[in-house]
């Protein structure tokens, strides 16, 4: 079969077939009387082998070595190709992030492009100190989208804090830029996202935090509950009570519950939730002590009755603590009454 017919049937151009011949990759078995290349069936099969290996990303030089080595084991080469492809994809993703960051900055000229590229270098520095300096520099104006992507990937707590500070002061699109972090399969990324959202005001951030109350990770749920509870959202009560029980940021959770209980129609609900946990069979002494301390954060009139009952608890440590808190509340009430009577 002559080269033109081979090209037509194989889909490989005559120019490439000549290149294969020059490299010694696929040499036609024979020549016609006029000197034209003549391919045998085996040559055609080799052409298809070459084309198949090219689809895996092998170079022509590599393909030649593979086809000439009868003892070649493909597993090692496939492993190398996977690693090379992963590296290439990582570089491509990095480039895509950089291009999107430049585009989000809406550059008016090449000076703006160069400025954002320099900023990206700083944020991508292996030095945590350099990354933090980049964020806090007085002249830095980082697009919200870039800040969000950076904070979701930042593991250093000091740099992450600086990024959250800058993100909370960004003009617009902040909460939406963090939303993909809450959907991540990586719990660490979701934790970074909820910490950043906790510092951002507005309804959009609050709505995302409300969704995070259902997150399977207790840390994510806890950060969301603390942030929303501080904003007066009563739906956080079950998570906050659970935090007191578990001892996860229990002091902060108790303080937020106390703030929520300042609203009369919530106070009884919160107190009852804490009292129910005190009666639950899972509670050891340490758990019950945390619950008593949380009760003490409630408004005095709401907490006093429960604390008086607990003053007779079988657990002496719980009883003493409850009695002490009850006395403190009673003394504050008496002092307040005297101040009113004798202004």
Please report where in the chains the tokens 């992963």 appear, as a residue. Answer: 86
Report DSSP letters for 222-284, one per residue.
HHHHHHHHHTT-GGGHHHHHHHHHHTSSHHHHHHHHHHHTTSHHHHHHHHHHHHHHHHSTT--
User: What pLDDT sits at residue 53?
Assistant: 87
User: What pLDDT sits at residue 71?
Assistant: 74
- DSSP conformation class of 313: -
3-class secondary structure, 200: coil
What b/e string do you get for 278-294 counting C-beta neighbours within 10 Å, with b at 16 or more?
beeeebeeebbbbbbbb
Q: Is the Cβ–Cβ distance between 7 and 14 less than 8 Å?
A: yes
Other Cβ atoms within 10 Å of 343 Cβ, number: 4
Q: What is the CA radius of gyration of the chain?
A: 34
Strands (E), 32-108: 37-38
What b/e string do you get for 153-172 counting C-beta neighbours within 10 Å, with b at 16 or more?
bbeeeebbbbbbebbbebee
User: What pLDDT sits at residue 343?
Assistant: 53
- Neighbouring residues of 328: CB distance < 8 A, sequence distance ≥ 6: 296
For the chain, helix (H) and strand (E) counts, in that order, are 19, 2
User: What pLDDT sits at residue 229?
Assistant: 96
Per-residue pLDDT of the chain (343 residues; tens, 9 = 90+): 888 888 988 889 999 999 988 888 888 888 887 788 889 888 989 899 888 888 888 888 888 888 887 777 777 788 888 888 888 888 788 778 778 777 877 777 787 788 778 888 888 888 999 888 888 876 666 777 888 888 999 999 999 999 898 888 876 778 988 999 999 999 999 999 999 999 998 899 999 999 999 999 999 999 999 999 999 999 999 999 999 999 989 999 999 999 999 998 899 999 999 999 988 876 688 999 999 999 999 888 888 888 999 998 888 999 999 999 999 888 887 765 555 555 5
């Amino acid at each position: 079969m002559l080269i033109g017919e081979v090209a037509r049937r194989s889909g490989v151009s005559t120019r490439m077939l000549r290149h294969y011949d020059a490299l010694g990759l696929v040499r036609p078995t024979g020549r016609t009387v006029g000197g034209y290349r003549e391919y045998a069936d085996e040559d055609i099969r080799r052409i298809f082998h070459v084309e198949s290996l090219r689809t895996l990303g092998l170079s022509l030089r590599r393909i030649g070595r593979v086809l000439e080595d009868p003892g070649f084991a493909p597993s090692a080469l496939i492993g190398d190709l996977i690693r090379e492809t992963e590296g290439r994809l990582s570089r491509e993703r990095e480039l895509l992030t950089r291009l999107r960051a430049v585009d989000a900055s809406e550059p008016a000229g090449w000076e703006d492009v160069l400025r954002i590229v320099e900023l990206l270098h700083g944020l991508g520095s292996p030095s945590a100190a350099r990354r933090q300096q980049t964020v806090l520099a007085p002249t830095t104006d980082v697009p919200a989208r870039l800040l969000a992507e950076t904070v979701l990937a930042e593991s250093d707590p000091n740099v992450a804090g600086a990024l959250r500070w800058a993100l909370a002061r960004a003009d617009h699109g902040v909460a939406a830029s963090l939303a993909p972090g809450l959907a991540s399969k990586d719990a660490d990324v979701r934790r970074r996202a909820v910490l950043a959202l906790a510092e951002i005001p507005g309804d959009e951030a609050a709505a995302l935090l409300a969704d995070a109350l259902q997150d399977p990770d207790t840390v994510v749920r806890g950060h969301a509950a603390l942030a929303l509870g501080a904003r007066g959202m009563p739906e956080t009560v079950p998570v906050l009570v659970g935090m007191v029980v578990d001892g996860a940021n229990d002091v902060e959770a108790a303080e937020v519950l106390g703030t929520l209980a300042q609203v009369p129609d919530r106070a009884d609900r919160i107190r009852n939730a804490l009292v129910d946990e005190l009666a639950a069979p899972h509670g050891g002494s340490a758990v019950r002590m945390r619950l008593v301390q949380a009760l003490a954060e409630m408004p005095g009139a709401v907490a006093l009755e429960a604390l008086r009952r607990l003053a007779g608890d079988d657990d002496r440590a719980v009883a003493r603590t409850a009695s002490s808190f009850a006395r403190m509340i009673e003394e504050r009430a008496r002092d307040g009454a005297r101040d009113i009577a004798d202004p």
